[in-house]
Structures are given as structure tokens and as C-alpha cells.
Amino acid sequence: MKRERVNPQQQPTGAGSFGHRPQSRNITRRELLGSVSTGFGMTALSALMADPAYAGLAGTPGPHHAPTAKNVVFLFMSGGVSHMDTFDPKPKLAELDGTKATLDNYTAGPNRKWLGSPWKFRQHGESGAMVSELFPHVATCVDDLSILRSMKSDFPLHPRSNIKMHTGRNVGGYPSLGSWITYGLGSENRDLPGYVLLDGGAVPPGGVENFSSGFLPASHQATSVAADGVPIHNLAPADGDAVQRAKLEAVIEQDHLLARSQGGDDAIESAIRNYELAYRMQSLLPDVLDLSKENAETKRDYGLEAEEQEARRYATQCLRARRLIEAGVRFVEITCAEVYGGNNGTWDQHTDLKKGHEGNARITDQPVAQLLKDLKARGMLDETLVVWATEFGRTPDTGNGDGRDHHETGFTIWMAGGGVRKGLVYGNTDELGVHAVENVMTVHDLHATILHLVGLDHERLTYRFGGRDISLTDVHGRVVHDLIV
């Protein structure tokens, strides 16, 4: 983050003294530079290291402007949810169903046909938003949603599009959205990580780069929490508190010595911060993740009694998300298990569209809707931004009669809470769902808008790396004020 430059606190003393020399002797340039090199060098180094951008350190975290959201829950639907089967009805597709398709993209071929949606749509709520029968629970929440029908991405490939949705780039090595937000704002609770990944059981294509802190300090990396078994390995202490504290202090002392010997190493300092955070987490995080204190009605409403194991797991993570937000975690992401989509994300239905999308909706619909309702009932939704997103949509045509392929030029996501307008349907794709044509939103626009809602300016939130100030949105993106209250 750009901060005011900090002047050196103190210039080196005694450096640069020439010493006594006979006045009759001329001093060569080499001798002059050699005698004062310590002074020049230390002065320059002192000035550089006092500059937070050069040192790679942020000033005190905090918003650039008054935020409307304090926390974010990111519900990532890996694989590519079909927009024309969920939130973007296309009557024209029903008319053309089964006829030869003329779609001009990478999937084009002589045997492709238009494919109408196998699900019915109807209006819901006072807003009258159209939602398919895939999501009967989320449909009851439409008056709290902003449904964005005009998203577009750049790549029809899972790894690149996943990484783009998370980091704003199509290659690895860059910080994720959650890392940028915790870097800019810090954590509300010093005993908990600022960024938590509630792992659904599968890593989306693109791997852990989706949740990486990149070149930001490692303390902004996502902390992964499993749905089944032990949530976080090695969290329970093996020793008593006094012994463990002594071990920790010994390790930290050695790390501080190493860091000083290296002239200050942010990776080492980040490791020290992570040690200390892990120590503090031992007492609080198990309690936050423990759902035994929730009443039977709450568990039932989230779906913890569902017949399908994967539905119970997803419900567990959604309820944990609410508890983590209550405890002050800044950014929580929930991913889906890999059930129906092979290895490319569970929503990736090139075949068996009906079976796969119905199965995924059955797993996620009730917990997601209940999370929204629970946050709202507790007065938390106004300050919590909930984002439901996928990496791209799916084609309006098919090559095999029962599946859709990747489609990046138009798809749908939605947001709720955190200062987002309620009951809004924003943007449109064309009559076949091929291209976003009205109020087109890019991934960078989405990121800029999310940052704005949490009080951060996407052009000012930067980190000095590789000789330049790097941001989440690079030179792109705009805040879409039409979505904001």
C-alpha cells in the first residue's frame, strides 16, 4: 500500500571522516570514494530501508475511505456454472433447442446444436428476479442479492480463469484477493488469521496459487481449514504451555538473529509472525470451529442433517464461515468438493449437465441461502459482503446433446450485503447468452468494486515488487458504483 515516505530517523555518525592528510598531497578520486564509501553507502541504505515501499513493508493497515463492508465471504463455485441454467434465462434457446448452432468460438463445429435449459425459471421476491428451479433456497433471498449477468473473463481454461478470478492475473505468483484485503486492512482479531480458506475437499484447477499471498508477506497467506476430521493439523499443542512457550521463544530468538544477519528479511519476519499467530490460535480457533454449541435448529437450517455427505460438509463450512466472521476474520473463502466435474471443478459439465448441476445445487443451495439469512438475522449482513462466483459460464450449445462447454464471454455471479444494492439485476448477455452486451463487467471491475466496498482504493493499494508498484487490478478496473447503495 502506498504510504507517506518515511525519512531516515538518524544519519550515521562518524562515517565519511577523511582523517588527517598532508595538505601538499593531492587525493585521487579512487581514494576519495574509498574513504567515504561507508558514509555514502550507509546514508543511501538508511534512506532506502526507511522507505516502506523499498523495504516491502506497509504502513499501519487501514481503509482509504469509509467502508460499507468489514468482512468478505467468497463462495467459489469451481468448474463453470451455466448462466443460462441458473440466473440468466434465455427463452430464445428454448425456441432453437435441437437446431444447428452457429456459435463462432473455439468449440464451433458442424455437429453442434443449440441447447435449451432443462430447468424452468420463475420470478421471485418483490424484485421479481428470475431464478431457475435449481436454487429454490437462494431464490427466497433474491431481494438481498445483486445479480450480475454481464460478467466476462479472458480465458476458457480452468486454471487460468480460476487464478484470474482470485488474483487478477492469468499466471501464478501473485497475491489473491483475500491476501490483498488483509494486507490493506489487517485483521480484526489478532488471535485469528485474517484470511481463512474453508476447504471443500478439492483444490480448484490452478492449485494453491489461487489462495497464495504471492510476494506479499507470508502472514497474508490463506489458512486452510478442512471440512472433515481435524480442521487444522498440528493445532493442538504437544507440550504444556510453559514448555511450548519456551520452545517458541527459542525458535523466535534464533530467527531474529538470522534476520539481523541478513540485514532484515521479510520472509523470516513473516515466519516469526506466523509462529506467534499459530501459538495464539491454539486457544481460540478450535472453539470458533466447534459447532457443538450451535443449537439443533441452526444445524438443521444449514443442512448439517442432509443425507449426502458432501452436503453436510458444505453446510459445516458455511456455518463455520458465519462463526469466523463473528470472531473477526476479515476474509473467508469456501470452495466446493469435487463430486461431478472430474478434475476440473465440480460444476464442469461437458456431459451429464442435468445430473451434475442438480447435484451441485443440492449440495450448496440450502447452506448458502441459510448463511445469508443467518447473517441478516444477526444484523451482520449489512457489514459482510457475500460474493457467489464462478470462473466462467457455459456455452448455449452442445456437441453431445447433454453437456455444455466452457464460455468466458458472458456469465453470471451475484453479491449480497456489505453496501451492495438489494434486489438488483445488473447487466445482460445477448438473447442466446453468448456475449455480455449491457453494463459489461470484467474481473478487474469486480475486484475494484469489492476493494471499494471494504474501504480500499484499488489504485492506491500497492506493493513494491520487482521495481514497480503492483496492485490487484494492475492498470485495469473501475468501481461499478451502480451496484453500491
Chain segment 98-109, per-residue pLDDT in tens: 999 988 777 667
Chain segment 418-473, per-residue pLDDT in tens: 999 999 999 999 999 999 999 999 999 999 999 999 999 999 999 999 999 999 99
Residue length of the chain:
485
Q: Tell me the percentage of the chain whose pLDDT exceeds 70.
A: 80
State the Cα–Cα distance between residues 296 and 359, nearest whole angstrom. 25
Q: What is the pLDDT of residue 264?
A: 63
Chain segment 259-299, per-residue pLDDT in tens: 777 766 666 666 666 656 665 667 678 899 999 999 999 99
State the Cα–Cα distance between residues 317 and 335, nearest whole angstrom. 9
Tell me the domains of the chain and their CATH numbers.
72-234+304-483 (3.40.720.10)
Q: What is the pLDDT of residue 39?
A: 42
**pLDDT category of residue 42 using cuts at 50, 70 and 90:** very low
* Residue 44 pLDDT greater than 60, yes or no: no
Chain segment 350-393, per-residue pLDDT in tens: 999 999 999 999 999 999 999 999 999 999 999 999 999 999 99
Q: What is the pLDDT of residue 331?
A: 98
Q: Work out the burial of residue 120: count CB atoms within 10 Å of its CB; fewer than 13 is exposed, 13-18 middle, 19 or more buried.
A: exposed
State the Cα–Cα distance between residues 460 and 257, nearest whole angstrom. 34
Q: What is the largest CA-CA distance in the chain?
A: 101
Q: What is the pLDDT of residue 435?
A: 96
Q: Enumerate long-range contacts of 264-270, CB under 8 Å, 24 or more apart.
A: 264/49, 264/55, 266/55, 266/56, 266/57, 266/217, 267/218, 269/217, 270/217, 270/218, 270/219
State the Cα–Cα distance between residues 481 and 284, nearest whole angstrom. 38
* Residue 32 pLDDT greater than 60, yes or no: no
